[in-house]
Structure 1
């Protein structure tokens, strides 16, 4: 059985979403970001970075959530990357989302939702919203006239990118200037597998 070290309040959620989409049996081994978990010698043998998530699949050990999902997409099943083109596009969009959007969206979420009120800085919200317009415009153009980023069905490309842009929904980012992105993201976050992951997350995180 696949084993995933992580928790529902971390980037491991995108891997949990992927596993739920696959319908693959897996075990979530609750691992916090506390030093007593991450600096544990047994865990460091799996992930010398002392971070989560980590996937164990028999003798294969992988870390980095995007890499884990791209690996899982090589397995047979509903999320299998059916061609080299789909696999390549999935890698392209996954790396793009991390480089072009993740830091901006995380900072936006922090200054709109996560930080206590008196330390939130409106200038961060303004700056991040402005800087996100270019990558969102690129994504919107790519989704114009199509429903998915790679091929004709929902793939790990859609999942990995949507798992980051979901932070935009949480931070009340206005997607209306990018209607193709807005529709695509709405469809992704309505998927039963995402809802199962999110319902589990809400139970342990008080709603966020």
Structure 2
């Protein structure tokens, strides 16, 4: 498998899972901040101009939930046997990718995706801040009395939850004080050797 990633981006989630499962893989950095996802060669691979991308044989997979599911299914790990818990995991994936990432952080960091007039960017970002606060509160609530996202079992979605903790800190949120359950989840993530290896390989 070949994972195309950008340091600290949402691609960190499948990167962690590759480290967790021990699946043989290569990493190719495509730095978002340097505009590398807009270059013609990468656009041939993923016309959506986004990371992550997972290449396996002749197949190209995009989108974090799909890639994480493929890695876990291939390795036979981190997918609960109980169908309801599988649904809970997918519920997390859907909300994190579609709402917290695309809407809330998207509005915060890339308001130009929502409006064309630059004088409206500040309004979009202000609404994004409110959406982020609501989203962080939801994460905190959903982690109540559980060591991992869906319960006692570490699953595919936990590295994705960890990504957003890092992003929250990057915009100045005091996660330790304001969202202690989420902070505790992140501490458990950081104690895992696979997480440490992924962070080190991405330069953190």
TM range (shorter): 0.7 to 0.9
Unpaired segments ≥5 residues, structure 2: 111-120
Q: CA deviation at 1:93?
A: 0.6
1:1-208 aligned at under 5 Å gives the runs 2-8=1-7, 10-32=9-31, 34=35, 38-40=39-41, 44=43, 46-102=45-101, 103-105=103-105, 129-175=129-175, 176-202=177-203
Conserved? CA contact 1:129–1:173, under 8 Å: no
Change (3 A) 1:50 1:134: closer
Change (3 A) 1:123 1:11: same
Aligned pairs, how many? 190
Unpaired segments ≥5 residues, structure 1: 111-120
Query: What RMSD over aligned residues (CA atoms) do the two structures have, in Å?
Result: 3.2
State the TM-score, normalizing by the size of structure 1: 0.73
Change (3 A) 1:178 1:19: same
1:158-202 alpha-carbon deviations (Å, 9 max, x no partner): 111221221112333122233222212222233222221111222
1:121-170 alpha-carbon deviations (Å, 9 max, x no partner): 99998765544332222222222111112242211121112212211123
Q: Which residue in 1 is equivalent to 2:113?
A: none
State the secondary structure of the residue aligned to 1:52.
Answer: coil
State the TM-score, normalizing by the size of structure 2: 0.74
Q: CA deviation at 1:11?
A: 3.1
Conserved? CA contact 1:74–1:81, under 8 Å: no
**Aligned-partner Cα distance in 1 for 2:126–2:44:** 42
